[in-house]
């Protein structure tokens, strides 16, 4: 349901959220999030344009979150690099389907529910959720 780009963006934001106020280098982020470095740089540029991440050049520079993690919703991160593709017309291109067939209508409802859930879920909530597994990142 989510693109690889959205997955990488969420990984980066979650990892940055784990180190508030600290600027992390692209190499460090790429290794921690298991994201290809070159691709991560593109993702980070999209996150900067969306106002979620800041870049600090020079020695001791790197990337950090621009906003409090309570303010950053999962949907904000997803929308910074793309969107959840809703089904507006027949994905099969069947011209006779003026409206969505029952299957595609139900699938679109699921996408809408996901979009709605992501609009309520903050990065802070992800990090506070009690779990033995760190969200989206490998620890260790």
| Assigned domain for 136 exists | no
3 state SS for 3-56: CHHHHHHHHHHHHHHCCCCCCECHHHHHHHHCCCHHHHHHHHHHHHHCCCEEEE
In CATH, what number is assigned to the domain containing residue 26? 1.10.10.10
Domain interval for residue 8? 4-128
Q: Examine residue 93 and state whether it is found in any structural domain, yes or no.
A: yes
Domain count of the chain? 1
**Residue 59 placed within a domain:** yes
pTM for this structure? 0.85
pLDDT tens track, the chain, 140 positions: 789 999 999 999 999 998 888 899 999 999 999 999 999 999 999 999 999 999 988 887 899 999 999 999 999 999 999 988 888 887 777 777 778 888 888 888 999 999 999 999 999 998 887 666 655 556 55
Categorise residue 58: left if φ over 0, alpha if ψ from -120 to 50, beta otherwise. left
**Domain for residue 27, yes or no?**
yes
């Amino acid at each position: 349901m989510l693109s690889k780009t959205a997955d990488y963006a969420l990984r980066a934001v979650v990892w940055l959220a784990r180190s508030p106020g600290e600027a992390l280098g692209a190499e460090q982020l790429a290794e921690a999030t298991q994201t290809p470095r070159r691709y991560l740089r593109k993702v980070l540029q999209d996150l900067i344009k969306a106002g979620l991440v800041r870049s600090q050049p020079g020695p001791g520079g790197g990337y950090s979150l621009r906003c409090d993690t309570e303010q950053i919703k999962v949907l904000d991160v997803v929308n910074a690099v793309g969107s959840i593709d809703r089904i507006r017309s027949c994905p099969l291109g069947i011209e006779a389907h003026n409206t969505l067939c029952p299957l595609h209508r139900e699938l679109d409802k699921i996408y809408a529910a996901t979009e709605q859930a992501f609009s309520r879920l903050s990065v802070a909530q992800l990090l506070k959720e009690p779990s033995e597994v760190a969200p989206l990142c490998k620890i260790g």
